[in-house]
């Protein structure tokens, strides 16, 4: 995530903080006091934006800068996945004429986890240094919003610091960015040893013999794929009909087929009732009475917002039925002078969305140009192998009557994909029927997180299929399939018909 901000032309002070008036400071709101509770992407990006606009910023964080995204969630999990991806990349080496003898590669989970934790720590320190260098104050502790107002109607935040002291801070603007915590089932409490949530996976000192993953959403699918990639026997327990039930059905079908081909056991329409310890592992009991014995179990059953102990409702902040903070498209809550960003708001649980919400909040509060959050323009990625990236309109919306046309290009007919031994994946584009303006897309491929960018730009800029089709691409390249898909949109079939044109077994167009 790019957090680069313009340095003050007057240079930094001895402490590293810029001195003098910042070049981007608001002419009327410069000097406003901002308190941010939470140092994850929503919090630290808000701090950088607020400093750029001339605010006096105090950020309170109790775990370390970067929050869960950097320390226990996004950065660690994707670092683990990077190790698994390397092994995936040599899976078909023999097809490319590279022959391995014996067992050329061995996996050391302790070494992987040491790298994971070291990288997360370094990233956290880099963020902290960056925020402080821009002139923000960072306090180690927890924050609570008091009900009483300060002078001139300011909010008061009480910071309970790690050194046992506390201090009250008045602020014109408060941002809550406290994130979320893994959800726990009553009869499957993580113990940090054999029954784990995703924040505890990096403490393991030996590779599991058999890992049961409960939950087939994004987190469950990513961890299941990663551990299978480093040679662990994996059983995935899914309460739904398929893996990744909330994602594009064609993409989910590809991943489920890949998982099965690589040896994963998938228990669909199976709900975990309990998980208990045994002498040398765990016993997972399903709702229908079946049991699964394994060495370890990962519980990936969602998350709950961190809203306890913040004084939110007492301060007038409305929570939703799920416990998330209710916000509008510029991150305002129902309480005067209080904004919120990130997973605590119940918006898309993505670091990029949290960061954007934080920037939007500060731009709005401090009088800068602001564009309300538009979820339809958010690009997301699932780091399975292959990856699944998506932006904009969905296949489900098309199936439910959205007036759109859809085209799907399998990667197996792309020459670069053939050269690299890729046989699974596709590029899908969705466009308005009447205008052929591109309104959505899906990429299933290695590195899909990079290839989704041109589609995201097209959706944001409302490019037509002709606009994309007329762009020159390198030959041979995977990106050539993007323009091929755009050319197909000129004569593509109605979205309501594409489902009938897909083979139900491999989801490949009958063309």
**pLDDT for 45-76, tens place per residue?**
999 999 999 999 999 999 999 999 999 999 99
pLDDT digits (tens, 9 = 90+) for 403-430: 999 999 999 999 999 999 898 999 999 9
Query: Are the C-beta atoms of residues 50 and 34 closer than 8 Å to each other?
Result: yes
The string of DSSP codes covering 395-448 is: HHHHHTT-SEEEEEEEGGGSHHHHHTT--S-EEEEEEETTT-BEEEEEEEETTH
Determine which helix (DSSP H) or strand (DSSP E) holds 277, and give its type and residue range.
strand 272-277
Contacts for 316 with CB less than 8 Å, ≥ 6 apart: 334, 335, 336, 338
In this prediction, residue 20 carries a pLDDT of 53
Pair 209, 70: CB distance under 8 Å: no
16 neighbors 132 (Cβ within 8 angstroms): yes
Q: Which pLDDT does position 89 carry in this prediction? A: 79
pLDDT (tens digit, 9 = 90+) per residue, 440-452?
Answer: 999 999 999 999 9
Encode pLDDT of 99-108 as tens digits: 877 766 789 9
Rounded to an integer, what distance in angstroms lies between the CA atom of residue 408 and that of residue 106? 38
On the question of pLDDT at 471 being above 70, the answer is: yes
Please state the pTM of the whole predicted model: 0.89
What average pLDDT does this structure show over 185-209? Answer: 96
Residue 119 scores a pLDDT above 60: yes
């Amino acid at each position: 995530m790019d957090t680069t901000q313009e340095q003050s032309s007057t240079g930094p002070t001895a402490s590293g903080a810029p001195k003098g008036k910042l070049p981007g400071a608001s002419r009327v709101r410069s000097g406003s006091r901002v308190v941010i509770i939470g140092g994850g992407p929503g919090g630290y990006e808000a701090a950088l934006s607020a400093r750029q606009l001339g605010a006096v910023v105090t950020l309170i964080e109790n775990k370390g800068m970067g929050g869960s995204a950097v320390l226990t969630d996004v950065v660690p999990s994707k670092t683990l996945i990077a190790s698994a991806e390397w092994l995936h990349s040599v899976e078909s080496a023999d097809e490319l004429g590279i022959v391995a003898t014996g067992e050329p590669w061995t996996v050391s989970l302790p070494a992987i986890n040491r790298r994971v934790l070291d990288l997360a720590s370094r990233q956290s320190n880099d963020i902290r240094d960056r925020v402080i260098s821009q002139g923000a104050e960072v306090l180690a502790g927890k924050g609570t919003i008091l009900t009483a107002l300060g002078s001139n109607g300011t909010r008061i935040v009480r910071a309970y610091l790690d050194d046992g002291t506390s201090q009250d801070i008045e602020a014109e603007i408060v941002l809550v960015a406290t994130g979320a915590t893994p959800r726990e089932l009553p009869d499957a409490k993580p113990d940090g040893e054999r029954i784990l949530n995703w924040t505890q996976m990096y403490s393991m000192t030996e590779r599991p013999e058999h890992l049961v993953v409960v939950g087939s959403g994004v987190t469950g699918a990513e961890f299941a794929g990663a551990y299978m990639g480093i040679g662990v026997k994996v059983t995935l327990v899914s309460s739904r009909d398929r893996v990744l039930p909330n994602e594009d059905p064609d993409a989910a079908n590809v991943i489920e087929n890949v998982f099965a081909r690589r040896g994963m056991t998938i228990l669909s329409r199976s709900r975990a009732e309990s998980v208990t310890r045994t002498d040398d592992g765990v016993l997972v009991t399903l709702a229908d009475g079946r049991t699964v014995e394994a060495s370890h179990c990962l519980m990936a059953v969602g998350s709950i917002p961190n809203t306890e102990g913040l004084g939110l409702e007492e301060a007038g902040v409305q929570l939703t039925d799920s416990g998330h903070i209710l916000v509008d498209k510029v991150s305002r809550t129902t309480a005067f002078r209080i904004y919120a960003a990130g997973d605590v708001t119940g918006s898309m649980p993505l670091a990029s969305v949290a960061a954007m919400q934080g920037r939007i909040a500060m731009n709005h509060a401090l009088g800068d140009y602001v564009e309300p959050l538009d979820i339809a323009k958010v690009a997301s990625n699932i780091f399975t192998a292959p990856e699944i990236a998506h932006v904009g309109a969905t296949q489900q919306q098309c199936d439910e009557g959205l007036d759109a046309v859809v085209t799907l290009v399998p990667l197996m007919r792309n020459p670069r994909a053939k050269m690299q031994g890729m046989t699974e994946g596709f590029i899908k584009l969705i466009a308005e029927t009447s205008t052929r303006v591109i309104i959505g897309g899906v990429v299933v491929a290695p590195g899909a997180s990079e290839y989704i960018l041109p589609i995201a730009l097209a959706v944001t800029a409302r490019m037509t299929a002709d606009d994309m089709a007329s762009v020159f691409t390198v030959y041979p390249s995977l990106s050539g399939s993007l323009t091929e898909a755009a050319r197909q949109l000129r004569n593509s079939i109605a979205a309501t018909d594409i489902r009938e044109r897909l083979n139900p077994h491999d989801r490949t167009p009958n063309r």
